[in-house]
Amino acid sequence: MKLRSLIPFFDDSVSTWALEARLLRWLTFIWLFVGLTILFSASYVVADVRQGDGLYYFKRQILWVLAALIGFNIIVNRPIQKILSISHWLLGIFLILIFVTLIPGLGKKAFDAARWIALGPIPIQPSELIKPFLVLQSARLFGNWERLTWRVRLTWLGIFGLVILGILAQPNLSTAALCGMTIWLIALAGGIPYHYLAGTAIGGFLLGLLSISIKDYQRRRVLSFLNPWADATGDGYQLVQSLLAVGSGRTWGAGFGMSQQKLFYLPIQDTDFIFAVFAEEFGFVGSIVLLVLLALFTTLGLVIALKAKNSVHRLVAMGVTIIMVGQSLLHIAVATGALPTTGLPLPMFSYGGNSMIASLIGAALLIRVARESSEAEILPLRRPHQNQRPRRL
């Protein structure tokens, strides 16, 4: 494969892609460009003070983006069936790494949560990297549900349960909830009987309630969410500062780079609360434009899913759309006080290479499904016979 073809902006074969694939490609690049622009603004001051270089975080993010874009282009040009054939191995590797983060001395802590491990100078957050492969394997399971034995079904449901429990034990309630809801919605789209879905929904709700009751800081976050102004300098500090940033943007915003809350008032402004900086600088109008971008991404994702000729591919498209748009809306809801404070990054916006890689892999999978679902694809995949039973999942 030539180096030129590894760089998405210079891929000569794009003109042969389906319309949905081309639109989604450009929408992804627009989302990425806007996100990098906001990260530059949100991180410059804090990087200048902490690292002595205002571009420190931005330059590191650019390196992650370049690496992720190479992976992005490999995926959009590789048959989805080949990617599905190795998804279970990658999911298993990241599941092991999730439990490695729980081992004292190996897991790196931040805000009392062990979510990272270090491979030399490279931080790895397996709970982020596992997301696209969790979507792929969920689509394989529920897309072939009727042709699988109960042994295979229960094995994979148990593995999914271990993923959620491992993330919950870090503790990372928000990511565990997002992964659980994504699996549940893929199962719903796959036609799983409602009584199974109802039971798992109740179980998931009770598990989240148990986590909140056990973890004191999670309980305090929920209580401060109900009335953040009651303890504006304590447990409610993050939400209060975020609301001040969002409110300060008013209609048109303060202007690019002119956020005042990012000047060490708003904590973790380049990751968990980056939307608050965006809302302050671009106001209500800019926030609506971002929501329209998410709505367009959702629409394209659903169109691609509806056009997919293969049930597994259809569930992959729906799963990627759910996890990317759903995570974005949850992040925005936290920043605007509609949900309790959590640690979910905003895809394509927040600083962090793991989130960037997971987001671009997800977008690439969606584009690949669009390519294979269209008659414009030059080399369509050979589909198995309708009655052929898959050998393994």
Token pair of 281, please? 């600088």
- Whether 383 has a pLDDT exceeding 60, the answer reads no
Token pair of 60, please? 């590191």
Find the mean pLDDT for residues 12-38. Answer: 92
Q: Longest C-alpha distance within the chain, in Å?
A: 63
Token pair of 55, please? 């571009």
**Beta 113-119 vs 122-124: how paired, if at all?**
antiparallel
Look at residue 392 in the predicted model and tell me its pLDDT.
54
* 88 or 213, higher pLDDT: 88
Residue found under tokens 């897309």: 143
Half-sphere exposure of 22 (CA within 13 A, CB side): 12
Range 101-123 burial, b when 16+ CB lie within 10 A, else e = beeeeebeeeeebbbbbeeeeee
Please, which residues have CB within 8 angstroms of residue 275's CB and are 6 or more apart in sequence?
331, 332, 335, 336, 346, 349
* 379 or 121, higher pLDDT: 121
Find the mean pLDDT for residues 102-127. Answer: 77
What is the average pLDDT value for the chain, to the nearest integer?
89
Detail the DSSP E strand segments found in 269-356. Answer: none
Kindly report the pTM of this predicted structure. Answer: 0.91
